[in-house]
Amino acid sequence: MFPRFASIPLVVCAVHVGAQEMPVGRISDEAHGIYDNDLLSPEFHRGRREALRAKLPEGGVAVFFANPVRKRSNDVYYEYHQDPDLYYLTGLTEPDAVLLVFKEPRQFSDGLHDELLVVRERDPKREVWEGIRLGADGARDVLGVEKTMTGKELLTVDLPWRDADKVYISSTKENLLNDPHNSADLSDLMDRVDATLPKGTAKGDEDLERWTAELRQMKLPEELALMRRAIEITCEAQKDLMRKLKPDMTEYQTEAIVEYVFKSSGAEHEGYPSILGGGAHSCVLHYETNRGPVRDGDLLLSDVGAEYHGYTADVTRTMPANGHFTPDQRKIYDIVLAAQEAGIAASRAGRAFRDPHNAAWAVVVKGLKGLGIVKDESEVKRYFMHGTSHYLGLDVHDAGLYGPLEAGQVITVEPGIYIAENSPCDPRWWGIGVRIEDDILITDGEPENLSISAPRTAEEVEALMAK
C-alpha cells in the first residue's frame, strides 16, 4: 500500500509456526484472556521504555494515551485497535489507558517509580459483555509495568510532577468521545492529566514523535519474527488467490479468498482495508469498495496485508483473471517489475530514503517513452503518481524519519503504472493498472525480500494460476 502522498520526506525458546520459528514472549494465560504464546514479551516492552527514557532530557516526562473507542453507528463500535506507540511501549490492548514515562524515579505513595500505567478497573458486570480486563494487578503482573493504577484512582491522586518538568504529550486524539456512563474514560483521563500539570508547564509533542519514530523505524529481532509471520500469511493468501481466480468472479469473492487465509492462519486483522480492484478499478489507487466484477481479460490488482500481533504486512500482486497476460498487459507488467527490481537494488544501508523511488522512476520513464505512452518525463506523473517506499511495522505507513536507510529497517518497494480510461494515449492501454509491492529488510549487505515467496514475474504468476 503505497504512501498516501507522492512526496516522501526474556530467555526465549521457539515454537514452530508454519515454516517460521517464533519466539515465546508472554505465555498464554486464559485467566487474563491471553491465548497466544508468541506475543512480544514484557522484557521487550520494558526495553523500549528504557530506550525512550534514555532520550528524555533531565526532568522529562513522556505521556501516551490509548486510542479512543470509535463508534461505527448508533450503539455499534469498531473493534478496538490500540495506539501503536502505547502498544509498542507496554503491550496493552485495552482502551482508556495512560502511560507516563519519567526520566528520573518519582515519589508515589508506595515508593519511587519511573513509570506509571493507568488502566481500566476490573468490572465483573462489564466483563460479562466485553470480556476479561487486566485491571491494575493484571497489568503489573502480565505486562511487567512497575507501577499501575486504575483510571478511577488517577482521578483522586496527585501525580508527581515537578515545577521544572519538561512534559511531552502524545498527539491529540481524533474522534474522542466522552462516555457519560464512564467517569474514567479516555476523555476524563486526558482532562485529569492536563488539570494536574503545574501552571505554565511547557508541553509539546514534536520531540516525542521524533523519538518514537527513531525507535520504531529500527526493528528488533522479536519484531521481525512477527513481521515475517504476517508477511508469510499474506504471501500464502496471494498464492491462494492466484490458484482460485477465475473470470466472472466478483471482487468481494477474491477478497474473501484472501481474508479467509488471514483468519485461518491466525492473523487478528487486516493491516488496512484490502484493495482488490479488477479491470478499470486496478487504476484506482486506494480502491476499497471491492464489489465489481472481474471479467475475462481483466487484470486484478490485489494489495493486501495480514496483521499479526500488531504488525502488518503489505504485499501487492497483479494477476490476469483468465491466467494469461495479454501482450499489452505483459509489456506494462514487465516495466513495473523492472522498476521494482531497480528499486530493491537501491534499498541498501546508507542510501537516501528516496533512492529506491528514483531508481524505479527512471525505469518507468524509459519504459513509457519506449511504448509511446508519453513523450516527455513530465507526463509520467499521470501514470505513476505515488512514492515507491514507506516504512512498515505497527502501522502500514509506519513511523520513521525518512533519513538514510539503515540496517534493521523494513520498507516497501512498490512502483506502479495506472492507465485509466480516457487517458491521453492510445486506447489499447486503457484500463491497465499494475502494481508490484514487496516488503524489504534493509541489512548490512544485500536487501532481503521478505515477501519473495509470492510469485512476482509474469511467468511465475501464470505458472501458478495454471495449477
Q: Is the pLDDT of residue 11 over 50?
A: no
Phi first, then psi, for residue 290 (nearest 5°) are 55, 50
Select from 219, 223, 174, 209 the least CA-distant residue to 63: 209
Across 342-367, average pLDDT: 98
**For residue 65, what are the contacts with CB-CB under 8 A and spacing of at least 6?**
83, 86, 97, 98, 169, 170, 173, 186, 189, 190
**For residue 304, what are the contacts with CB-CB under 8 A and spacing of at least 6?**
234, 237, 238, 258, 259, 270, 274, 275, 276, 315, 316
Rounded Cα distance between 325 and 302, Å, is 16
pLDDT tens digits along 417-454 = 999 999 999 999 999 999 999 999 999 999 999 999 99
Which residues are catalytic, by number? 75, 286, 303, 314, 386, 390, 397, 414, 418, 435, 437
pLDDT for 4:
58
pLDDT for 227:
98
Per the structure block, which three cell numbers stand in for 301? 490488482
**Is-above-0.85 flag for pTM?**
yes
| Ranges assigned E (strand) in 67-109 | 71-73, 76-77, 98-108
Domain 40-214 class, CATH top level: alpha beta
Where does the pLDDT of residue 33 fall: very low under 50, low under 70, confident under 90, or very high at 90 and above? Answer: confident
For domain 219-466, is the CATH number 3.90.230.10?
Answer: yes
* Residue that has been written with the C-alpha cell 520504531 in this structure: 216
Per domain, the residue ranges of the chain are 40-214, 219-466
Rounded Cα distance between 333 and 408, Å, is 30
